[in-house]
Amino acid sequence: MSASTIPYKIYLEESEMPKYWYNVRADMKTKPAPLLNPGTHRPMTAAELDCVFCEELVKQELDNDTREYPIPEEILSFYRMYRPSPLVRAYCLEEKLKTPAKIYYKFEGNNTSGSHKLNSAVAQAYYAKRQGLKGVTTETGAGQWGTALSMACSYFGLDCKVYMVKVSYEQKPFRREVMKVYGASVTPSPSDTTAVGRKILAEHPGTTGSLGCAISEAVETAVSNPGYRYVLGSVLNQVLLHQSVIGVETKIAMDKYGIQPDIIIGCAGGGSNLGGLIAPFMGEKLRGEKDYRFIAVEPASCPSLTRGVYAYDFADTGMVCPLAKMYTLGSDFIPAPNHAGGLRYHGMSPVLSELYHQGMLEAISVPQTAVFEAAEAFARVEGILPAPESSHAIKAAMDEAIRCRETGEAKTILFGLTGTGYFDLVAYEKFHNGQMDDYVPTDEELAKYAAKLPKV
């Protein structure tokens, strides 16, 4: 198809939408390291994981071999409510930057959860329902994942118990109300509904909570209530599998119009969006069929890939979850205040960590103020108000496009625009008022946390 017939926004026909998730682990010669039991340091078995997660999800978590997973029809139906997501040519941004580069972005924010999180939430809710469970539990910080899961549970008629970090519960009442619209119960954490919550409240009266504490409460609630399981919105192999729908859809659209990206960029917190976007392209690179540059963009305040160590660590601050081998800053590392809640995770998906370790993936970190400058510049020409998380990818894509202006190269840049910033306006306000913090941890600080990593 000629370039002139490429639309401004590419929406696949429903008949062209992906019918399968792509499991990049199948094409990795060296597989990501297995999860370890935190007590025995031996690989977690399916039976051990079944107490916490749904059976089908445990299977997906442990399966390093199946290349394609057919997406169940019920999930396809749900996807059709908000997918395909558009692949947009950023003509206005190109013009503003006066770059010869061609910039495309895959926009995942056009659904009420406001981000790509819904892609995995619906899968996890579906398998819980199919297993005959009553409900699921989870934690949420900023609220995107909790919102996505509430929507999915509402659709399948599943109970949804969300532990929301107390400070967010109080400061983000709107996120809380959205979850209630979808019928979720939202409990500020720490709470007196769990033993771990009561213990923390007794030891730290007046605490405003943490993600680690909320995870611990959600896990305890899942394992102590018959018919409940715990679900998680990032980091896990299964989540990257579900999120591959982003990349597969992007690749079908690009192939349809003969577009070949040179550079693929995504923001990276736990890795769910980046892992999903790059998956099928990475598969081609792993199989030696094509080459691409992949760039993970993380906040300078929480630089797990660029400044962390590749080691086994706890997936949660509460140290109740299995050990995962990943680039990590240490499970009790608390990043300086920043407004990209989705990128404040201390570690990185084991799949992406292993790919980075193999040199298949680059990583950079960017300071917060520069990210918001890029976000505002993008919004003014492309219309969409981006989430702070997504704006990390915008910043990196703009820098690459400016480099093209300098070298005269007409590279094709693809980035993931994971979500919208409608619930992040406190952050934009701070940016407008010049109150943004660009703190970057010192080497000494990072070394202190790294020294506390579990000995495996």
Report the interface residues with a copy of itself, using CB under 8 A. 7-9, 11, 13-14, 80-82, 92, 110-112, 114, 151, 154-155, 173-174, 177-178, 180-183, 376, 379-385, 420, 422-423, 425-426, 428-429, 432
Residue matched to tokens 């997660």: 53
User: And the tokens for 389?
Assistant: 């998380």
Q: How far is the CB of 435 from a copy of itself (least distance, A)?
A: 13
| 27 vs 373 by CB, closer to a copy of itself | 373
Q: How far is the CB of 80 from a copy of itself (least distance, A)?
A: 4
| 62 vs 162 by CB, closer to a copy of itself | 162
| 112 vs 193 by CB, closer to a copy of itself | 112
Q: How far is the CB of 341 from a copy of itself (least distance, A)?
A: 16
* Residue type for position 399: D
User: And the tokens for 9?
Assistant: 């926004």
Q: Read out DSSP for 436-456? A: -------HHHHHHHHTTS---
User: Helices in 172-271 by DSSP H: which ranges?
Assistant: 173-181, 195-203, 211-224, 237-256
Between the alpha carbon of residue 247 and those of residues 110, 283, 395, the distances in Å are 16, 11, 20
Q: CA dihedral in degrees (324, 364, 93, 254; nearest 10)?
A: -50
Identify which of 286, 279, 290 has the alpha carbon closest to the alpha carbon of residue 251.
279
| 88 vs 219 by CB, closer to a copy of itself | 88
The beta strand positions in 55-134, using DSSP E, are: 68-70, 87-89, 102-107
User: Can you tell me whether residue 241 is helix, strand or coil?
Assistant: helix
User: And the tokens for 16?
Assistant: 């062209």
| 111 vs 189 by CB, closer to a copy of itself | 111
Q: What interhelical angle do 144-156 and 118-130 show, nearest 10?
A: 40
| 13 vs 443 by CB, closer to a copy of itself | 13
| 284 vs 373 by CB, closer to a copy of itself | 373
| 13 vs 406 by CB, closer to a copy of itself | 13
Q: What interhelical angle do 237-256 and 350-357 show, nearest 10?
A: 70
Q: How far is the CB of 136 from a copy of itself (least distance, A)?
A: 16
Q: How far is the CB of 355 from a copy of itself (least distance, A)?
A: 33
Q: How far is the CB of 402 from a copy of itself (least distance, A)?
A: 21
Cα distance between the two ends of the chain: 54
Q: How far is the CB of 28 from a copy of itself (least distance, A)?
A: 34
| 11 vs 310 by CB, closer to a copy of itself | 11
User: And the tokens for 243?
Assistant: 């999120």
| 252 vs 379 by CB, closer to a copy of itself | 379
Find all residues with CB under 8 Å of 355, minimum gap 6, and list them.
24, 28, 282, 361
3-state SS, one letter per residue, for 410-431: CCEEEEEECEECCCCHHHHHHH
Q: How far is the CB of 304 from a copy of itself (least distance, A)?
A: 29
Beta-bridge partners for 365: 298
Q: How far is the CB of 142 from a copy of itself (least distance, A)?
A: 14
User: And the tokens for 154?
Assistant: 């509402």
User: And the tokens for 270?
Assistant: 């736990």
Q: How far is the CB of 383 from a copy of itself (least distance, A)?
A: 5
User: Can you tell me whether residue 177 is helix, strand or coil?
Assistant: helix
